[in-house]
Amino acid sequence: MTARDSDASRQAATPGEADPHGHDPDPGGHFGSYGGRFMPEALIAAQDELAEEYEKARNDPEFVAELERLLRDYAGRPSPLTEVERFGAHAGGARVFLKREDLNHTGSHKINNVLGQALLVKRMGKRRVIAETGAGQHGVATATACALLDLDCVVYMGATDTERQALNVARMRLLGAEVRPVDTGSATLKDAINEALRDWVANVADTHYLLGTAAGAHPFPLLVRNLHRVIGEESREQVLRHTGRLPEAVVACVGGGSNAIGIFHGFIDDPEVRLVGMEAGGHGLDSGEHGAALTSGTPGTLHGARSYLLQDEDGQIAEAYSISAGLDYPGVGPEHAWLADTGRAEYRAVTDDEAMHAFRLLSRTEGIIPAIESAHALAGALRLGAELGPEAVLVVNLSGRGDKDMDTAAQYFGLVPEAGITGGDQR
């Protein structure tokens, strides 16, 4: 074996550049039996166009340089890797490092994907961008990129989420985006995606659907993963620099799976590094109220790809539940399904209560308020640290910051006597 833990053996690839290690799906977008394109014929031409344009772009030095420049000068990359000793003391004494995607411009990892896709939109000569959003982070990131690159922007957001993420709605509007609340179905993320797909099929000639996670029909899972791979590549270099060795485990929360797949890919060729995804356990897997597609779902097709999902005996998609809007989704990206089946990655569920415990713990021990999504990864690290002990090194993807979640947190912990901070009606 070559020196896997030496920096020289593994130059970090440039974001968006061709994968030097060969983990791409087949030409139809299949990761094993997952992925593919379960899409209306009307959208296939647009998916083909996107796949072709991306192939050209990822091999075009000008595109790669432009994306790198934006990630550095606009988004603030590389994001730091912070060791959190006081928090680690609660994780069996393990050394815990946080990949600080919360410090990116707009406050989460979502900006990596959005800047890359928005540049592709420019290349394709389209003028209008639509997006779905759950927590509002992807919507805010999309609205931001559209403001920067002068694109029209419409964001679909479940009506339930526009309420619990009212601040992000205001942010998107301030940035010039139109936010369209969706009240069909469960009025959350999956319904926002449905509505965005309906818009796309009617307007595909001049509109790009800027999907916010590593799910959906080919090429989205590949494209979004590659745009987030920078998280893992930076993390690997940084943890080697800090500790001189690779971590025992890399931990990330999994909604659709974009921040997780991004950080996992930095370590995917290091078989001794465990890749651990934390899903939304909601009120507990037994309660039926959760968003744990990999831990307790079954294979099916949703939003264009075959993967694990929450469904009933008839194949009707179940409503997911999570205290965090960004994990409140009944599906998951197809590459995670593949990694779960092959055993390369493992997935567990974290309940609302465990996540909120980790949320407060990180705030109090380190002065970092995480997104509730990311708090699921932190809760996973608390468990893994306890299992692995003080010799272990853990890298946790802190995918976003918690400002957007203050209403929910205030409510959960009873921090504010009356209604929420924004005055919104809180359940």
Partner 1 sequence: MSLHEVFRDCATRRSAALIGYLPAGFPTVPDSVELFRAMVRGDGDTPGCDVVEIGIPYSDPVMDGPTIQAASGEALRNGFRVRQLFDIVSAVAETGAAPVVMTYWNPVHRYGPDAFARDLAAAGGLGVITPDLVPDEADEWLAAARQHRLDRIFLVAPSSTERRVAMTAGAGSGFLYAASVMGVTGARDSVSGSARELVRRTRAHTELPVGVGLGVRTAGHAAEVAEFADGVIVGSAFIDRAGQDGAAGVAEFAAELGRGVGKSSTPAP
Ligand X SMILES: Cc1ncc(COP(=O)(O)O)c(C=O)c1O
Contact positions vs partner 1 (CB under 8 A): 28, 36-46, 184-185, 190-191, 194, 197-198, 201-205, 298-304, 306, 311, 313-317
Is 108 among the residues that bind ligand X (CB under 6 A)? yes
Q: What is the sign, positive or negative, of the torsion defined by CA atoms of 167, 168, 171, 173?
A: negative
Kindly tell me which of 92 and 281 has the beta carbon lying closer to ligand X: 281
CB within 8 Å of 144: residues ≥ 6 apart: 105, 106, 111, 114, 175
Gyration radius of the chain's alpha carbons = 20
**Residue 228 CB, nearest distance to ligand X (Å)?**
8
**Dihedrals phi, psi of 346, to nearest 5 degrees:** -125, 150
Is 399 among the residues that bind ligand X (CB under 6 A)? yes
Kindly tell me which of 89 and 204 has the beta carbon lying closer to partner 1: 204
Listed in sequence order, the DSSP H helices in 18-109 are 41-58, 61-69, 85-88
Task: Judge whether 296 counts as a catalytic residue.
Answer: no
| 3-state class (DSSP) for residue 310 | coil
Cα–Cα distance, 338 to 215 (Å, whole number) = 12
313 binds, among ligand X, partner 1, none (CB under 5 to 8 A by kind): partner 1
Residues 22-81 that bind ligand X (CB under 6 A): none
Task: Judge whether 186 counts as a catalytic residue.
Answer: no
**Residue 291 CB, nearest distance to partner 1 (Å)?**
16
Query: CB-side exposure of 206: number of CA atoms within 13 Å?
Result: 5
The residue from 17, 132, 279, 373 that is catalytic is 132
Q: Which listed range, 4-12, 156-164, 236-244, 367-375, lies at the site for ligand X (CB under 6 A)?
A: 367-375
Task: Judge whether 399 counts as a catalytic residue.
Answer: yes
**Residue 158 CB, nearest distance to partner 1 (Å)?**
13
Q: Are strands 274-282 and 178-182 parallel, antiparallel or unpaired?
A: unpaired
Cα–Cα distance, 240 to 6 (Å, whole number) = 8
Is 188 among the residues that bind ligand X (CB under 6 A)? no
Within 10 angstroms of residue 369's Cβ, the number of other Cβ atoms is 20
Q: How many residues does the chain have?
A: 427
**Residue 290 CB, nearest distance to partner 1 (Å)?**
17
Active site residues: 110, 132, 399
Residues contributing to the site for ligand X (CB under 6 A): 108, 134-135, 137-138, 213, 253-260, 326-327, 371, 373-374, 399-400
